[in-house]
């Protein structure tokens, strides 16, 4: 969600590794590059789509849906699609619903104050940072926060320390959900975005290959996918964050899908509620279905407006709140 903040996990050394000034900013091709200690964060320019005439230009398609949908003006059917990469949290799984309500207060609590701070402004800044990096591995949100601490003259902890504390707090929130699912006290559908199973079944019926990529640590993703009964849909193709954060990214997963199947991006569809997968999918030449899910009100069929606007802004082709119209959605994507 929000502006793209694409960390420079790539390969490039940080521009000025000896720079002792935190928050060092340099203009770079396509955006800006921040350094925080030895951590680098690349922030490409915001790209907001200003043309919101998609509803008008795709009115006929829209009317086929019983629930809400929005087509970007550039949407075209993609009958060649055979590979589908899903994000996990907020896209299929709701086990971690409410995670920003854990991360944001933690950051507010740990951020050094400065004179002139207004709580609402600080909160908005931190939330934008958090949601900007939604879809990437959690460590990147912690790296960005460390940068904020340093900007204010504080001495940031190592991002891993922030991550461990965040996960400790999140665990408190979600443990009862995991326990209920583990003990069969909860129906998995309770923690699946509305219509998920119908969508997955529709994809399997078409013979398309499914992949799961998440910024959550891989062992947790695999465990939670199993609890939700999703492991059978994805088999070996479940990928998540690694201890060595440079060894995983959704971009890498996409490149691997295309390489191993020897196909171009027009065979790929990405479905997610985060900036990262939408942008990476589009950059690879694929179709991007943005899920502007209102996680706290699953089944209500409403857009999360923040996600809707931001995901359209980074090039999503279609935006839906959930999968209540999965059959129509897949037909439209195929050009039927």
Min. distance of Cβ 43 from Mg ion in angstroms? Answer: 20
Min. distance of Cβ 296 from Mg ion in angstroms? Answer: 14
β-strand pairing of 6-7 with 39-44: antiparallel
Contact 306/275 with Cβ under 8 angstroms? no
Min. distance of Cβ 271 from Mg ion in angstroms? Answer: 10
Reference 315, options 270, 277, 282, 273; nearest CA is: 282
Contact 21/37 with Cβ under 8 angstroms? no
By CB under 5 A, name the one of 273, 280, 294, 317 that touches Mg ion.
273
Per-residue tokens: 271: 């479905």
Contact 292/304 with Cβ under 8 angstroms? yes
Binding flags for Mg ion, 31-70, as an x/- string (CB under 5 A): ----------------------------------------
Name the residue whose CB lies closest to Mg ion.
90
Return the number of the residue (89 or 217) whose C-beta is nearest Mg ion: 89
Q: Which stretch binds Mg ion (CB under 5 A): 35-43, 84-92, 153-161, 169-177?
A: 84-92
Return the number of the residue (90 or 156) whose C-beta is nearest Mg ion: 90
Return the number of the residue (35 or 141) whose C-beta is nearest Mg ion: 141
Binding flags for Mg ion, 225-244, as an x/- string (CB under 5 A): --------------------
Return the number of the residue (273 or 317) whose C-beta is nearest Mg ion: 273
**Sequence-distant (≥ 6) Cβ neighbours of residue 84 within 8 angstroms:** 203, 208, 209, 210, 211, 268, 269, 270, 271
β-strand pairing of 24-28 with 31-36: antiparallel
Sign of the CA dihedral running 195, 197, 203, 208: positive
Contact between 90 and Mg ion (CB under 5 A)? yes
Contact between 87 and Mg ion (CB under 5 A)? yes
Contact 330/313 with Cβ under 8 angstroms? no
Contact between 89 and Mg ion (CB under 5 A)? yes
Contact between 274 and Mg ion (CB under 5 A)? yes
Footprint on this chain of Mg ion (rule: CB under 5 A): 87, 89-90, 273-274
């Amino acid at each position: 969600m929000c502006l793209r903040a694409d960390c420079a996990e790539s390969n490039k050394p940080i521009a000025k590794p000896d720079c002792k000034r935190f928050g060092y900013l340099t203009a770079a091709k396509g955006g800006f590059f921040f350094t925080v200690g030895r951590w680098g964060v690349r922030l490409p320019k915001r790209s907001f789509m200003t043309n919101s005439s998609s509803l008008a230009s795709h009115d006929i398609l829209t009317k086929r849906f019983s629930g809400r949908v929005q087509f970007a003006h550039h949407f075209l059917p993609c009958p060649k699609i055979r590979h589908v990469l899903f994000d996990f949290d907020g896209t299929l799984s709701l086990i971690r619903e409410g995670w920003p309500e854990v991360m944001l207060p933690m950051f507010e609590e740990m951020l050094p104050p400065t004179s002139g701070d207004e709580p609402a402004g600080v909160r908005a800044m931190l939330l934008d940072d958090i949601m900007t990096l939604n879809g990437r591995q959690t460590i990147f949100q912690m790296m960005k926060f460390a940068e904020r601490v340093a900007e204010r003259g504080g001495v940031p902890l190592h991002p891993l320390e922030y991550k461990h504390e965040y996960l400790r707090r999140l665990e408190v929130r979600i443990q009862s959900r995991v326990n209920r699912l583990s003990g069969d006290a909860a129906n998995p559908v309770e923690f699946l975005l509305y219509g998920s199973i119908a969508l997955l079944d529709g994809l399997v019926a078409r013979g398309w290959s499914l992949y799961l990529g998440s910024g959550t640590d891989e062992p947790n993703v695999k465990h939670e996918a199993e609890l939700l009964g999703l492991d059978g849909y994805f088999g070996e193709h479940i990928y998540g964050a690694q201890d060595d954060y440079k060894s995983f990214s959704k971009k890498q997963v996409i490149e691997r899908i295309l390489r191993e199947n020897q196909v171009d991006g027009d065979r790929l569809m990405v479905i997610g509620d985060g900036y990262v997968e939408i942008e990476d999918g589009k950059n690879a030449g694929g179709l991007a279905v943005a899920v502007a899910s209102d996680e706290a009100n699953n089944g209500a069929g409403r857009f999360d407006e923040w996600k809707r606007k931001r995901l359209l802004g980074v090039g999503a082709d279609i935006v839906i709140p959930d999968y209540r119209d999965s059959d129509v959605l897949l037909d439209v994507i195929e050009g039927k």
